[in-house]
Structure formats: C-alpha cells, structure tokens
Amino acid sequence: MKREHKSFFAAGVGAFLLLAVLIGCETTPGGGNSRIKGQVATYRGPVKLGIDVLEENGFDLLRGKRVGLITNQTSVNRRGTKTRLVLHRSPQVNLTALYTPEHGLEGTEKAAVHIAHRRDSLTGLMAYSLYGPTRKPTPEMLAPIDVMLFDLQDIGSRSYTYISTMIRAMEACAENGKEFVVLDRPNPLGGLRVQGPPMESRWISFVGQVPTPYIHGMTAGELAQMANAKGWIAKPCRLTVVPVLGWNRAMTWENTGLRWVPTSPNIPKPSSPRYYAATGIFGSLSGGDIGIGSDGPFEYVGGPGFDANEFTNYLNSLRLPGVKFTPYTRKNYGGARVIIDPHAPMDLAGMNLIFIDAVNRRIGSRNLFVRTTASNKDVFYKVYGSTSIERDLPRGVQPAKIIASWQSSNESFRRARKPYLIYE
C-alpha cells in the first residue's frame, strides 16, 4: 500500500477492455464509481489520456450525438494532436461547438482577463467563452449539443479555475438535460498529497469552487464524481469519466512520459504546479515577489530590498524536507529561489505561510496584509479559503501551529474522497 504524503510534521489493451473501462466509468446522477474500481489497474503500458482511450474505442460514447468540447491548448492526445482536431477529423464524431476557460482557447490571455466568444480558425466552430460575462454555459450556448466533453489539464491546486469551469458546466448540463463526459488527465502533483487549508463555505467562489483542501490529490474525473455525489452542484448531471490508463497516484507529471503543454502563461513547465502550490497563496498578497515575469514564475520568494543571502540562509535553516533555497536579486527585490523535489514530503501549501511570516518579519508594521488593498484581500481570502491567517500570523501564531491545525480536516477529506478515487 502506498504511503500518502503528510505535512512535514509527520515527516497494449484490446478494444473489449477499453469498452469495459468506458462503461464502468459511467455514473448515475449522484452515484459513486463502484463499477470502475479495479478496471484501470489491469492496464500495463504507457500512459494514455482520456482522449486516447476514447479514440481507441472508436468514440462509441459519442455516436449519433452532437458534441461540445470544453478545450484549450492543453487539450491534446499523447501524440500532441489537439483534441478538437482529433474529434473534428473523425467521421464518427459530430463536433458542433467549443467552449473555452480562463486564458482562452490558446492559453495566451493573462489571468483574470475576460475572454470573448470567437470562431476557431482550425475547426471553423464557434468557441463560446466561459470566462466572460457568464462563467456557466447558458441554455443558448448548450442548444447546439447533446453531450459536453471536458478536456482541460488541471494543476492540482484548488485556486486554479479550470475545475471551477468544469463544476459550473456540469451544473448547466444537468439543468439542460445534456450528458457530461470528463476525458481524464493525470494530476501533475500526483494523487497522494492532501495538503493545505480547508475552504470555509463563505469563501467558495469561482476562484475556489470546490470545498477541498488547497491540494486535493485528485484528477478532474475524480473531482467530478465527488461533486456529483456530494451535492457540490445544485443538480447532479449524467456523468461519464473516460479514465487515464497507466497512471497511478504515486506518479507526478515527470513520471508520465507525456509532453507538458503550458496550462497558462505562468505555468510553463511540468514542475510549475509544485511551485504554484508553494507560493501562489503568498503571491496573492501585495508587496512580495514570486518571480512573475522571470524565467521561473512562482519559483521565487522575496521582498523589497531584502538581503538575499540573509533571507536564503534563514529559509535553509528551517530544513524543510525536500526543499532548498538559493539567493537571488531582481528588480528591487532580494530573496530566495525555491527548489522543490517532486516527491518532497513538505506540505507545499504550508510553505506559503512560512514565506508570508518570513517576509512580514522583515518589512515591519506595513506587512503584506496592510499593503494589500481590500479588493485584492478579498481575492486572497477566496484563494486561502479563510480570513483567519490575517489574524493569526501578525499576532505571532507560528506557521507550524497553523499548518498542524489543518491536519484533522485533511484526514477527514482523505476518507471522504476514497469512494470516488479511480486510480490506485
């Protein structure tokens, strides 16, 4: 049995089998995934994505149906061909509409910038924006389709909005009598980490749409099954998950043999999701530096005018397991470049608290919380899932104590997610 990461305080398949896997993944509204367990484990071979499995099965799920696809630049098969082209070129598929998340169809738009509807030059189809005036498909947007496919690469942290797009689309499909199919993909952080702060219900938003720990250790397909069953959407949908084959929970992206496609402008590398998890919360406050605009977004942590050597020596003195720091200076900032082993046992989300505390101790009374405007602080609360950190850290509560306080909730989530896990 594989050992799951705790915080640092507890330091080829034939067509018949493929069809069986696809059938086994279908769930009734609100149902679990009891029929799929054990089927994925029979496969031995290179990692195949959900789109690969769907294609090898002759697109049987889509026969005679008008198909919509939630897609962007990450939607590719294991050979690197865009999913929308795979579907558009197939005589067995009637692809009729596209839908795009934050960052747009090609993933080039900056974070939080509204995306307009556009016609896709590759397929000639309308690409409806799900990150504009509406973030939930309207009945008019869904009118051209019978079944919605979701094929986006998530990065494993709660505040990345692709899962929010999935949840809102599932809800819309349920309300409009459309089927919903997740073409599953690996979690680049692996499936063992359950780390970080829980989400208080008052802070659920499009920034963080699901009440999970900050690092949930689940794939999009697993989250979809859990959301459908646990009432995270107003009405459950008719859901099918087409699983990844050849992936297991101990595998990070580097172990998959798959090419990484940048999920957004600041997630350019297969290692980027780790660094996003470790510094993204810290970077939601104003006054610090996380390397945006550098060769390694989210790979830095520093403050204005800091002595880079002193700050780096301090962080290295903490001996965070699987983590090292080297000094850097850029622009008006000094600090440490972060180096994280893919399988570091360190609570990645907890590192944000350590960084906030370390920077605050060096910038005096105008700490990061004071420097952050009310509107930006509202976004921070939605990312973190609570306001408690603003109270606790400035009054001297140690990051270690706060991180330890998450563990009971995270263990409860491990138990709650178990019925919906597809992969061993």
The SS3 call for residue 148 is: strand
249 and 277: one domain? no
Q: Evaluate whether residue 115 is within a structural domain.
A: yes
Q: Domain of residue 371: give its range.
A: 272-412
Cβ 345 vs Cβ 190: under 8 Å: no
CA distance 367 to 51: 47
Ranges of residues in the chain with a pLDDT under 50 are 1-32
Rounded Cα distance, 382 and 385, in Å: 5
pLDDT per residue over 92-107, tens digit each? 999 999 999 998 888 7
Tell me which residue has tokens 């219900």.
Answer: 201
Q: Does residue 234 sit within a domain? A: yes
Which of 222, 243, 262 represents a domain boundary (last residue)? 262
Point out which residues pair with 319 in neighbouring strands.
none
CA distances from 16 to 58, 114, 422 (A): 11, 44, 19
Residues 43 and 65 in one domain: yes
Q: Quick one: 192 and 124 in the same domain?
A: yes
Using the 3D structure, point to which of 262, 295, 316 is the last residue of a domain.
262
- Residue 299 sits in a domain of what CATH number? 3.90.1150.140
Q: Give the alpha-carbon dihedral of 244, 245, 250, 252, to 10 degrees.
A: -60
Residue 117 lies inside a defined structural domain of this protein:
yes
395 shares its domain with 323: yes
Q: Is 226 contained in some domain?
A: yes
The answer to the question of residue 172 being in a domain is: yes
pLDDT at position 34: 53
Q: Are residues 63 and 140 in the same domain?
A: yes
User: Helix, strand or coil for residue 149?
Assistant: strand
pLDDT of residue 33: 54
Q: Taking Cα atoms as reference points, which of 16, 23, 62, 61 lies closest to residue 43? A: 16
Do 284 and 402 share a domain, yes or no?
yes
Of 206, 234, 262, the last residue of a domain is 262
Q: Do residues 277 and 349 lie in contact, with contact meaning Cβ atoms separated by under 8 Å?
A: yes
Q: How far apart are CA 98 and CA 373, in angstroms?
A: 37
Q: Quick check: is 2 in a domain?
A: no
Q: What is the DSSP letter of 110?
A: P
138 vs 123, 146, 171, 415, CA distance in Å?
22, 14, 11, 35
Question: Which of 19, 18, 36, 39 lies closest to 27, judged by CA?
Answer: 36
Which domain CATH number covers 208? 3.40.50.12170
Instruction: Tell me the per-residue pLDDT of 266-309, one tens digit each, with 9 for 90 and over.
Output: 999 999 999 999 999 999 999 999 999 999 999 999 999 999 99
CB count within 10 Å of CB 104 equals 21
pLDDT at 112: 74
Query: For the purposes of burial, counting CB atoms within 10 Å of the CB of 230, is it exposed (0-12), middle (13-18) or buried (19 or more)?
Result: middle
> Is residue 418 domain-resident?
no
Total count of domains within the chain? 2
Query: 């509560």: which residue's tokens?
Result: 397
Same-domain check for residues 195 and 284: no
Which tokens belong to 275? 């660094």
Angle between helices 348-363 and 272-283 (to 10 degrees): 40
Residues 282 and 235 in one domain: no
Q: Looking at the domain assignment, is residue 214 inside a domain? A: yes
- 3-state SS class at 20: helix
**Do 255 and 280 belong together in one domain?**
no
Across 152-183, b (16+ Cβ under 10 Å) vs e yields bbbbbbbbbbbbbbbbbbbbbbbbbebbbbbb
Shared domain check, 246 and 277: no
Residues 103 and 151 in one domain: yes
Assess whether 155 and 294 both reside in one domain: no
Q: What is the C-alpha R_g of the chain?
A: 21
| C-alpha–C-alpha distance, residues 291 and 299, integer Å | 6
Would you give the distance in Å from CA 48 to the centre of its chain? Answer: 19
Cβ neighbour number for residue 321 with a 10 Å cutoff? 13
Residue pair 148/181 in contact (Cβ under 8 Å)? The answer is: yes
